[in-house]
Structure 1
Amino acid sequence: MSTNTPLPPEALDEWLAALAARLGLDADLVPTGLLLDVARDVAHNVARPAAPLSLFLVGLAAAQNGGSAEDITAASAAATELALGWPSEPQ
């Protein structure tokens, strides 16, 4: 059953644990706060639809570089830096 009602904040951990399990990942390795910060910065400084796509690219880059916590942090930092410097007017 699907709904258009978003999850309440307290259900986020439950959702992430279930999705991580379904994808064969360790939910404890997901830096939720860091990724939400990247999504916020991209959504506010680039465009809202760019946020989920940017997180996909962060994850892909981290995986290609080894997938460690440091790789996720580095890819997240690069995305945030680019987003925060993104021009507000189209060029």
Structure 2
Amino acid sequence: MNVLEEWTALVCRELGVDPARVDRDALLDLTKDVAHGVARPAAPLTAYILGLAQGAGTAPPDAAERVAGLARDWERATTETMGDA
């Protein structure tokens, strides 16, 4: 077991989360897209917001993928928004 797996298992145990419910690769991909496409500090904030939405039952099944898409399109979206002003 590597450090990331050990840490995930420890945090899941501490917080009472079933580790099988953690899609580590999807979350890491999401935070990578946000960090590189939007801003580094937005990555952990986005992961937290996604967790809140999932915990509240309001996140769609493809939420991580949808938010990652927003991050990948961030520059284009902000350019279009600023062009509309």
TM-based fold match above 0.5: yes
More helix by share: 2
Tell me the CA shift for residue 77 of structure 1: 1.5
Tell me the CA shift for residue 15 of structure 1: 0.4
What is the alpha-carbon root mean square deviation over aligned residues?
2.3
TM-score (norm 2): 0.80
State the 4+ residue runs in structure 1 displaced beyond 6 angstroms: none
Residue of 5, 17, 30 corresponding to 1:13: 5
Structure 2: unaligned runs, 5 residues or longer? none
**How many residue pairs get matched?**
79
Tell me the CA shift for residue 50 of structure 1: 0.4
Fraction of identical pairs, as percent: 38
TM-score (norm 1): 0.75
User: 2:29 corresponds to which letter in structure 1?
Assistant: D
Relative contact order, higher structure (CA 8 A, sep 6+): 2
Cα distance in 1 between the residues matched to 2:58 and 2:18: 15
2:37: which partner in 1? 45
Structure 1: unaligned runs, 5 residues or longer? 1-9
Tell me the CA shift for residue 28 of structure 1: 1.7
Residue of 51, 59, 84 corresponding to 2:72: 84
Residue correspondence of structure 1 range 16-31 to structure 2 within 5 A: 16-31=8-23
Tell me the CA shift for residue 66 of structure 1: 6.3
